[in-house]
A and B are shown apart, each in its own frame.
Chain A
Amino acid sequence: MQTHSMRILFFIFILALSACQKAAQQEVAPTFSDDIAPIIFSNCVPCHRSGGPGPFPLTTYNAVSNRARQIAEVTASRYMPPWQPTAGYGSFIGERRLTDHQIALIQQWAQHNAPAGDLTQLPSLPQFTQGWQLGTPGLVVEMDEPYILPAEGADQFRNFVLPIPIDSARYIEAVEFRTDQATVIHHAVLMFDRSGAARKHDAREAGPGFDGMVFGEAQGPDGHFLGWTPGKQPYRDPSLAWQLAPGTDLVVQLHMLPSGRPENVSVRVGFYYAEGPPERTPALLRLGRKDIDIPAGEDHYTLRDEFTLPVEVHVAGIYPHAHYLGKQMAVYADLPDGHREWLIRIDEWDFNWQDDYRYAQPVHLPRGAKIVMEYAYDNSAENPFNPHDPPQRIFYGLHSSNEMGDMTLQVVPRNNSDLKTLQQHYARKWITQEIQGYETMLLEAPNHAEHHHTLAMLYLRVRQISQARTHFEACLNLRPDYAEARVNYAIALSAAGQTDKVIEQLLQAVAHRPDYADAHFNLAMALYQTGESEAAKVHFTSAARLRPERAEAIRSHMERLQLH
């Protein structure tokens, strides 16, 4: 009997307990007005608002509750807000990261069917600056006609060439990128071209811009990388202003994702002038390798590079870069005192959300600090981003179907003398790496004339003349009409004192490309040195005719050589 009543008591206790739990659960169920709106408004709405780069607004209760489960899922997986660097491994400007507590609140809220709470008590929506975020730019360049992105297909990489109409050199302290099609643009990189090559390339393809991930001659401004991702805030830094020269073309490379309907894509770039030259000049330190050779199916291929600083620097920013096989990235500096300073860590690399990052406080690295980058790649069929099905052996290359492993640091040395020391040390490391890289790339493409040419030039720089000759000859066997390579080969032969062969190469260069002014000029010089003044005169004259802007200089040169 006693046992029986005990049982009843126990039963009642359990019932009461579960009732309490239910009540407690109901009490703690988060509401939109009290708990969720503050999270969404400050972390999601900067992009997810009308006119923002997010694909749909999240500015009202209905908009958010209609996606409750989706929001719970993408925040739990940390796909949203998009922010790749792992917390605790470098501190950056503009970090977009929810706390574990915030993520848990969203989970509970979604599980409880997204309760509204008291919608009259909502926090106010943040205010956003319309138009240019940094104010009116000193100069705006834009595409003169939109590019029509097709409705379907794989991601597109396309470069748009925008002439910069300035008459004299200007210092730039900020650049702002704007587009009305942010929902289809994953990423933009801004480069500058003074060679005219990008413009020529553009003219060869129909419609605005030209396809591909290769910029050609275009480069970032001295010591800077300029990238844009949806939601990224532009910044202004007069202390690191850079020079923009007249005659430069802006090359904007867009990574675009088809939306299901044709989209008119256009972009605008604003330049903000600095009052004068910068106090200090930054440098870009690019670690990385080109001797990438990833076996098909390999799910953990590692790549490592390092560089020891010959001078102390402050690191202002970092741009890690790999393509679709990239998996993990770790970049750190081992300091002389044994301490390890983390520069970035990305545990789940996603090429689609690649970005460059600026440190909240520039990171001081002393002289002797060893900067190390370690990347891992997944070239298995399990990697959904793998551009090859089935997987293939992959080498270095600029296309999205090849792979890269680069990490660029923007560093600021104390003064110009330190900058010089740094550049000298870095150049030695760079050239060794380049040689290894091109040797590996030639394994993939042994008949790549341009690679042979580049490698020949690299060997020339480190004075390994016989290797240089081997690659010049390989290059010219593959492409006898490669006039630039012939001219460079002739210069190499001339340095080696083989004058007879010099003339032969240069004669072939002008035979293949009669409009090549530099070839005529060098040929004239070589002919003059062998006493063939009349023939030299002919080619000097051709060079002057083909390069009118240098005609005066060539004529006075001829006078000095007494060729009239």
Chain B
Amino acid sequence: MSIRTYIATLLLLAVAALILLRDGATAYDLAGRPFNPLTTRARATVLLFVGPDCPISNRYAPEIRRLADTYGSDETLFYLIYVDPNLDSKSIQQHLRAFSYDISALRDPQHTLVARAEAVTTPQAALFDRASALVYSGRIDDRYIDFGKQRPTARTHDLEAALQAVLAGLAPSISRTRSVGCYIADLKE
């Protein structure tokens, strides 16, 4: 092995390690298999962080379903991310049924996806592009201003706007917004 090949191999390995580190975000599907939703190389990947005992998170179920119905495809993937480490697959399945979700659900007990998506609360949305770069993280829309303070209807649909930008090959005009809901960091095993 020439020194050049050696260096090239090392570099490659380093890049691979970096990618792995960056996208080593491991979650689990409901059968308990590790699954990283950020390795699919889809055009757009939407992670929706939810909590079954968070009222604001639940109130967004119809809006989340609407977005998934409207935009979901082989190239635009939607995942519900359950962040409470104490929640088992059975409870998640019950929650999916109760709120009529037809979206792939993942568990993120170590909060690796939470960290990768810069998620702070449930509900919160994170949008990744084909290169798995986080292009939007924040609220779904601006209906909630604070705990107990909500508008009759949303004025801005932030996630939808970001998604439309990415699908048009553009960068979202707003990449970060503050979400209102239940704090993920409080959740412990």
Residues of A within 8 A of B (CB): 55-56, 62, 65-70, 73-74, 77, 79-80, 114, 151-152, 154-155, 183, 257-261, 324, 350, 352-353, 384-387, 389
Q: Give the docked Cα–Cα distance between A64 and B185 (Å).
A: 13
The residues of B that contact A258 with a CB separation of less than 8 Å are: 59
Among the listed A74, A79, A154, which residue makes an inter-chain contact with B153, where contact means beta carbons less than 8 Å apart?
A: A154
B169 within 8 A of A: no
The answer on a CB contact under 8 Å between A259 and B152 is: no
Q: Give the docked Cα–Cα distance between A29 and B145 (Å).
A: 31
The residues of B that contact A56 with a CB separation of less than 8 Å are: 53-55
Q: Which 10 A-B pairs have the closest CB atoms?
A: A152-B62, A260-B61, A260-B58, A69-B183, A55-B55, A260-B59, A56-B53, A384-B145, A261-B99, A154-B152
Q: Give the docked Cα–Cα distance between A183 and B149 (Å).
A: 16
Q: Give the docked Cα–Cα distance between A80 and B59 (Å).
A: 20
The residues of B that contact A152 with a CB separation of less than 8 Å are: 59, 61-63
Among the listed B84, B155, B186, which residue makes an inter-chain contact with A65, where contact means beta carbons less than 8 Å apart?
A: B186
The residues of A that contact B99 with a CB separation of less than 8 Å are: 151, 260-261
Contact flags B5-47 to A (C-beta < 8 A → 1, else 0): 0000000000000000000000000000000000000000000
The answer on a CB contact under 8 Å between A74 and B145 is: no
14 contacts between A and B (CB under 8 A): A74-B148, A77-B147, A79-B147, A79-B148, A151-B62, A151-B100, A152-B59, A152-B62, A183-B55, A260-B59, A261-B61, A324-B152, A350-B148, A385-B151
In whole Å, how far is B63's beta carbon from the nearest beta carbon of chain A? 7
B159-186 interface with A by 8 A CB criterion = 182-183, 185-186
Q: Give the docked Cα–Cα distance between A384 and B148 (Å).
A: 11
Residues of B within 8 A of A (CB): 53-55, 58-63, 84, 86, 98-100, 145-153, 155, 182-183, 185-188
Additional A-B contacts beyond A62-B86, A70-B183, A389-B151 (10; CB < 8 A): A65-B188, A66-B187, A70-B186, A77-B147, A114-B186, A152-B59, A259-B55, A260-B99, A387-B152, A389-B153
A-B contacts at CB below 8 angstroms, number: 80
In whole Å, how far is A44's beta carbon from the nearest beta carbon of chain B? 14
In whole Å, how far is A291's beta carbon from the nearest beta carbon of chain B? 25
Q: Give the docked Cα–Cα distance between A155 and B100 (Å).
A: 21
Q: Give the docked Cα–Cα distance between A450 and B90 (Å).
A: 57
Q: Give the docked Cα–Cα distance between A73 and B186 (Å).
A: 12
Q: Give the docked Cα–Cα distance between A232 and B147 (Å).
A: 21
The residues of B that contact A389 with a CB separation of less than 8 Å are: 151-153, 155
The answer on a CB contact under 8 Å between A261 and B100 is: yes
The residues of B that contact A74 with a CB separation of less than 8 Å are: 147-148
The answer on a CB contact under 8 Å between A66 and B186 is: yes
The residues of A that contact B98 with a CB separation of less than 8 Å are: 261
The residues of A that contact B150 with a CB separation of less than 8 Å are: 384-385
The residues of A that contact B63 with a CB separation of less than 8 Å are: 152
The residues of A that contact B152 with a CB separation of less than 8 Å are: 154-155, 324, 385, 387, 389
The answer on a CB contact under 8 Å between B61 and A151 is: yes
The answer on a CB contact under 8 Å between B145 and A66 is: no
**Closest residue of B by beta carbon distance from A69:** B183
Among the listed B149, B153, B188, which residue makes an inter-chain contact with A66, where contact means beta carbons less than 8 Å apart?
A: B188
Q: Give the docked Cα–Cα distance between A258 and B146 (Å).
A: 17
Q: Give the docked Cα–Cα distance between A65 and B99 (Å).
A: 26
Q: Give the docked Cα–Cα distance between A80 and B53 (Å).
A: 17
The answer on a CB contact under 8 Å between A55 and B53 is: yes
Q: Give the docked Cα–Cα distance between A122 and B84 (Å).
A: 25
Q: Give the docked Cα–Cα distance between A472 and B130 (Å).
A: 71
Q: Give the docked Cα–Cα distance between A276 and B161 (Å).
A: 66
The answer on a CB contact under 8 Å between A259 and B59 is: yes
The residues of A that contact B188 with a CB separation of less than 8 Å are: 62, 65-66
The residues of A that contact B54 with a CB separation of less than 8 Å are: 56
The residues of A that contact B149 with a CB separation of less than 8 Å are: 384-385
**Closest residue of B by beta carbon distance from A114:** B186
Q: Give the docked Cα–Cα distance between A151 and B64 (Å).
A: 12
Q: From A69, A80, A352, name the one whose CB has the most chain B CB atoms within 10 angstroms.
A: A69
**Closest residue of A by beta carbon distance from B100:** A261
Q: Give the docked Cα–Cα distance between A79 and B149 (Å).
A: 10
Q: Give the docked Cα–Cα distance between A20 and B153 (Å).
A: 52
In whole Å, how far is A24's beta carbon from the nearest beta carbon of chain B? 26
The answer on a CB contact under 8 Å between B148 and A260 is: no
Q: Give the docked Cα–Cα distance between A198 and B13 (Å).
A: 76
Q: Give the docked Cα–Cα distance between A77 and B153 (Å).
A: 24
The residues of B that contact A261 with a CB separation of less than 8 Å are: 58, 61, 98-100
The residues of A that contact B185 with a CB separation of less than 8 Å are: 69
The answer on a CB contact under 8 Å between A260 and B182 is: no
The answer on a CB contact under 8 Å between B55 and A73 is: no
Q: Give the docked Cα–Cα distance between A226 and B108 (Å).
A: 47
Q: Give the docked Cα–Cα distance between A77 and B147 (Å).
A: 10
The residues of A that contact B148 with a CB separation of less than 8 Å are: 74, 79, 350, 352-353
The residues of B that contact A352 with a CB separation of less than 8 Å are: 148
Given contacts A73-B147, A260-B61, A387-B152, contact A67 B186 (CB under 8 A): yes
Q: Give the docked Cα–Cα distance between A444 and B59 (Å).
A: 35
Q: Give the docked Cα–Cα distance between A154 and B143 (Å).
A: 11
In whole Å, how far is B91's beta carbon from the nearest beta carbon of chain A? 14
**Closest residue of A by beta carbon distance from B52:** A56
The residues of B that contact A183 with a CB separation of less than 8 Å are: 55
**Closest residue of A by beta carbon distance from B150:** A384
The residues of A that contact B59 with a CB separation of less than 8 Å are: 152, 257-260
Q: Give the docked Cα–Cα distance between A73 and B178 (Å).
A: 15
The answer on a CB contact under 8 Å between B58 and A69 is: no
Q: From A79, A152, A154, A350, name the one whose CB has the most chain B CB atoms within 10 angstroms.
A: A152
In whole Å, how far is B48's beta carbon from the nearest beta carbon of chain A? 13
The answer on a CB contact under 8 Å between B62 and A260 is: yes
Q: Give the docked Cα–Cα distance between A66 and B54 (Å).
A: 11
The residues of B that contact A67 with a CB separation of less than 8 Å are: 182-183, 186
Q: Give the docked Cα–Cα distance between A350 and B147 (Å).
A: 12
